[in-house]
Amino acid sequence: MAISKIPQKVVEELNRQFNQELSAAHSYLALSVWCDTRNLKGFGKYFVRQAAEERTHAERILKHLADRGVKANVTALPAPKQDFKTLLEVAQQAQTQEHANTLGVNAVYEAALAAKDLPAQVLMHWFINEQVEEEDWSSEMVERVEAATCAGSASDLDRHIERYLEEEVREVPKES
C-alpha cells in the first residue's frame, strides 16, 4: 500500500464516519425488523433500502481511503436501538440518525478544510449534499407519521410509502 497522503486528523475523521455509516446501516435494519413484525411492510422496505444506502456511503469512504493509501479501520458496531412503542418513535429514531450523520459529515469536512486536504473536501461535498436530502426526508417522514392520527392512517401511510418505492424502482434507468 502506498504511503498515506492524508493528514492524520482527516484519516481519523474519515475512519470515524466510515464506521458511523456502517452503524447507521445496522440501525436501519433494526428499524426494518420492527416495522416488518408489525406488518408495516412499506416502512420495512424503506428502511432496508436506507440500510443499503448507508453501506454504499461507507464503501465510498472506504474507496477514498484505499485510493489514497490508507487502510480503513473497521470497528465493532454497537447494538442498535430496537425497542419502540410507536411508528413515530421509529421515524424519530431515523431522523436522529440522519442528524448525527450530518454532524459527522460536517466534522470530516471541517477537518479536511483545516488540513487543506482538497480530495477529502471534494468527497465530503457529495456527502453534504446527500445529507440535505436525507434530513429533509426524515423530517417529512416524522411530520407525516405525526399527522397520521385517525384509525387506519398508519396503514394508509405504509401503503403510500410502498407504492412510492415501487414507482421509484420503475423510474431508475437500467444500466447497460
Residues 6+ apart with CB under 8 A from 49: 165
Residue range 11-29, pLDDT digits in tens: 999 999 999 999 999 999 9
Residue 156 is predicted with a pLDDT of 79
> Strand, helix or coil at 73?
coil
Side chain identity at residue 31, one-letter code: L
Residue range 74-88, pLDDT digits in tens: 999 999 999 999 999
Q: How confident is the model at residue 170 (pLDDT cuts 50, 70, 90)?
A: low
d(CA 129, CA 146) in angstroms, rounded, equals 26
Task: Identify which of 125, 25, 15, 134 has the alpha carbon closest to the alpha carbon of residue 78.
Answer: 25
Residue range 32-85, pLDDT digits in tens: 999 999 999 999 999 999 999 999 999 999 999 999 999 999 999 999 999 999
On whether the CB atoms of residues 20 and 100 are closer than 8 A, the answer is yes
Residue 152 is predicted with a pLDDT of 74
Kindly report the pTM of this predicted structure: 0.88
On whether the CB atoms of residues 15 and 111 are closer than 8 A, the answer is no
